[in-house]
Amino acid sequence: MGRPPIDVPFDRDGSGRFLPWLVALMVYLAALAVSGALMLERALDGWDRGLMGTLTVELPPASAGNDGGLAATLKDLAAAPGVLSARPLSRAEMTALLAPWLGPSVPNDLALPQLVDVRIDPARLDETALAARLGRDAMGAAIDDQRVWLDRLARLVRMAEIVAAGIVCLIGAAAVLTVIFTMQAGMAVHRDVIELLHLVGARDGYIARQFQRQALRLSLWGGGAGIVLALATLLALAHAGDAARALGTTGPSLPSLTLVPTQLAALILLPVAAALLAMVTARLTVIRALTRMP
């Protein structure tokens, strides 16, 4: 009883036949673009937390009778304000770091630089003074502050997010144009029915509601199919990434191809947003066309 009547016979024409398929494709592409941006943002947050309060000191390789300045470096780090701890990495740890590029077996005669993992209090550390002191006491010592490349990576992520937002905007514009064309075609097909409704006293808003409900229904079907395909694609990519990491064919620094529940909820809202956009576009299109009819 509560279902509103439908006086326009939409089931007798094919004006909206392709609308669900086009909306499904647009939601699918938009979901992939948004999920890619969310994954990059999540990976950047993880790298940021992992590097918070750390830096690395690189020293020349040690040789017989020469520790490469390791002892002097550790002494300077222990005396520097803001340095919480300093630990030289073992050769096994260095080999593990180089494994993604050189493979699991690094030759024993390969001279590797010495790395010192330093935990710091950024608020208390004077990095410029520490670098000058290390350069004076340990020849060849250099501070590798990961925040520098992390800032560059953050700029790349922001650019990727802007590109993703631009893609979503273009997809939204294409969806609006598609709905406008579909509604105009539908009104041309049902022109006689619309004129008859006008004759019996139907207002423009009543007729527009007929078309906007049709657009909402078709867009919900298409958006639902598109988001299901998008989630299936993301699930397949996540499984492929996990399998590649298990086989050791990808580097450990690659971002995880998974989303947290809040991000998944944001993706699931895409079909609803697409359907509402289609409904509003349909109403405005029909109202504008009806005002021009005699």
Letter for the amino acid at 44? L
Burial group, residue 201, by CB count within 10 angstroms (0-12, 13-18, 19+) = exposed
What mean pLDDT do residues 46-69 have? Answer: 75
Q: What is the mean pLDDT of the chain?
A: 81
User: 107-131, pLDDT tens digit by residue?
Assistant: 666 777 888 888 888 788 888 888 8
Say if CB 37 and CB 158 are below 8 A apart.
Answer: no
Would the pTM of this model clear 0.85, i.e. be above it? no
DSSP H helical ranges for the chain: 19-51, 70-79, 91-102, 127-137, 146-189, 191-199, 204-247, 261-292
Within 8 A by CB and 6+ apart from 72, the residues are 137, 138
Among 5-19, 163-177, 279-293, where is mean pLDDT lowest? 5-19
Q: Which residue has the tokens 């005669």?
A: 109
Residue 188's CB is within 10 A of a number of other CB atoms, namely 12
Within 8 A by CB and 6+ apart from 289, the residues are 183, 184, 187
Tokens describing residue 180: 């406008």
User: 207-227, pLDDT tens digit by residue?
Assistant: 888 888 888 989 999 999 999
Residue 159 confidence (pLDDT) above 50: yes
Q: Report the distance separating Cα 226 and Cα 277, nearest Å.
A: 16
What mean pLDDT do residues 269-279 have? Answer: 92
Say if CB 24 and CB 223 are below 8 A apart.
Answer: yes
Q: Report the distance separating Cα 145 and Cα 142, nearest Å.
A: 9
